[in-house]
Amino acid sequence: MCFARYGYEGATVRRLEEGTGLSRGAIFHHFRDKESLFLALAEDDALRMADVVAKEGLVQVMRDLLATQDGADWLGSRLELSRRLRTDPEFRERWAERSRNLTLATRARLLRQREAGNLRDDVDVDVLTAYLELVLEGLVSHLAMGLPADDLEPVLDLVEASVRRAVGGPS
Amino acid sequence: MCFARYGYEGATVRRLEEGTGLSRGAIFHHFRDKESLFLALAEDDALRMADVVAKEGLVQVMRDLLATQDGADWLGSRLELSRRLRTDPEFRERWAERSRNLTLATRARLLRQREAGNLRDDVDVDVLTAYLELVLEGLVSHLAMGLPADDLEPVLDLVEASVRRAVGGPS
């Protein structure tokens, strides 16, 4: 995604043209300005994430983030995002709605896993949802700061195991 | 801490005087400028955290963060921190050293817990350390964004339980 790769400031219209395969005219025919495009792309990202969550769970979203972080200017986008969240109430509201959708998708997936007998049943699903989201926030922050991430796969294995039902046999 | 409460920009010398109980003269006698003071206070914070880690573990540090987040302008400090990490190699090096100290304190504490038979022994201590640090990053990011945190206590219970030895009896 262009904004992740170059940061909000670096995502010039030229790069947006390359990234989306659309012409400048087409881009601004659909989107009033860069800000609207940023929101639309973020919305698109969120939908894709909710889709992966529904099929494979939030830990898989984290694994995908780990796999595709390469070369992305996460920090630029995150700084822009934080700044906007703090200063723009309308943006904050739209963002909160997106977060709620991801929460709902995660919760629904966990409920299905519980019904299938794959989930630990001694902890409330809401707590498990908040737990996975907190780890996701940590991962995003970690990647955004550009900290080394090559040792995080077994950490995500541990996270996944800690929401699963503990069994005597193979897990 | 003054920088956390008012953000880097908001931590005027007047507030620093109030917060530290030192006079302006005393402050700048000891610290070349506001930046040096920021680093010294951050260092102080890191030492206190390492101390809590040694005695009570990293999850307790997270519980303390949850308890004292009230009114702090976390985001301001975090944004300043992220910006500095990205643009100032010398600062990044000093910060990395501090992070290493916290990692070492966490690892040492976990090793003692393992010797005492309190820790799960099917996962490497380095993985458990990275896991706890990732959750801490998530928590700090969560608080910095000003997201609701009143439902996070049971999440931290889950985190604590997931590094402990699973036992048939009381945990």
pLDDT in tens, B7-35: 555 556 666 677 677 777 777 777 776 66
Q: What chain B residue is nearest to A160 in terms of C-alpha separation?
A: B162
In sequence order, what are the beta bridge partners of B164? B119
CB-based contact B120:A162 (threshold 8 Å) = no
- Which pLDDT does position B131 carry in this prediction? 97
Q: Does B86 touch chain A (CB under 8 A)?
A: yes
Q: What is the ipTM of this complex?
A: 0.78
CB-based contact A163:A131 (threshold 8 Å) = yes
Picking from A74, A86, A147, A158 by the largest number of B CB atoms within 10 A of its own CB, the best residue to mutate is A158
- In the stretch 138-157 of chain B, residues with CB closer than 8 A to chain A read 138-142, 144-146, 151-152, 154-155
CB-based contact B129:B73 (threshold 8 Å) = no
Nearest to residue A142, comparing CAs of B99, B164, B76, B4? B99
Task: Give the number of C-alpha atoms closer than 13 A to the C-alpha of residue A163, restricted to the C-beta side.
Answer: 26
In sequence order, what are the beta bridge partners of B119? B164
Q: Does B171 touch chain A (CB under 8 A)?
A: no
Beta strands in A110-156 (DSSP E): none
| Nearest chain A CA: its distance from B153 CA (Å) | 9
B13-20 helix and B34-56 helix, angle to the nearest 10 degrees: 40
- In the stretch 44-73 of chain A, residues with CB closer than 8 A to chain B read none
Question: With bands split at pLDDT 50, 70 and 90, how would you rate the model's confidence at B68?
Answer: confident
Q: Do B137 and A141 touch (CB under 8 A)?
A: yes
CA distance B138 to B154: 15
Nearest to residue A107, comparing CAs of A64, A58, A166? A58
CA distance B126 to B106: 10
CA distance A130 to B155: 7
Contacts of residue B106, defined as CB under 8 A and 6 or more positions apart, other chains included, come to B53, B57, B58, B129, B132, B133
Q: Does A40 touch chain B (CB under 8 A)?
A: no
The CA-atom distances, in angstroms, between B17 and each of B2, B20, B28, B54 are: 10, 6, 11, 31
- Each domain of chain A, given as residue ranges in start order, spans 33-163
Alpha-carbon Rg for chain A in angstroms? 18
CB-based contact B112:B56 (threshold 8 Å) = no
The 3-state DSSP class for residue B85 equals helix
Q: What chain A residue is nearest to B140 in terms of C-alpha separation?
A: A138
CATH superfamily label, B33-163: Tetracycline Repressor, domain 2 (1.10.357.10)
Nearest to residue A42, comparing CAs of A71, A69, A81? A81
Q: Do B166 and A162 touch (CB under 8 A)?
A: no
Contacts of A78 in chain B (CB under 8 A): 82
Q: What are B93-135's pLDDT values in tens digits?
A: 877 887 888 899 999 999 999 999 999 999 999 999 999 999 9
Whole-model pTM above 0.90?
no
Q: Tens digit of pLDDT per residue, chain A (171 long)?
A: 445 544 555 556 666 677 677 777 777 777 776 667 766 766 777 778 888 999 999 999 899 888 876 545 555 666 667 777 777 888 788 778 878 888 999 999 999 999 999 999 999 999 999 999 999 999 988 887 777 888 999 999 999 999 998 765 444
DSSP state letter for B56: H
Q: Does A126 touch chain B (CB under 8 A)?
A: yes
B/e letters for A59-79, b = 16+ CB within 10 Å, e = fewer, are bbbbbebbeebeebbbbbbbb
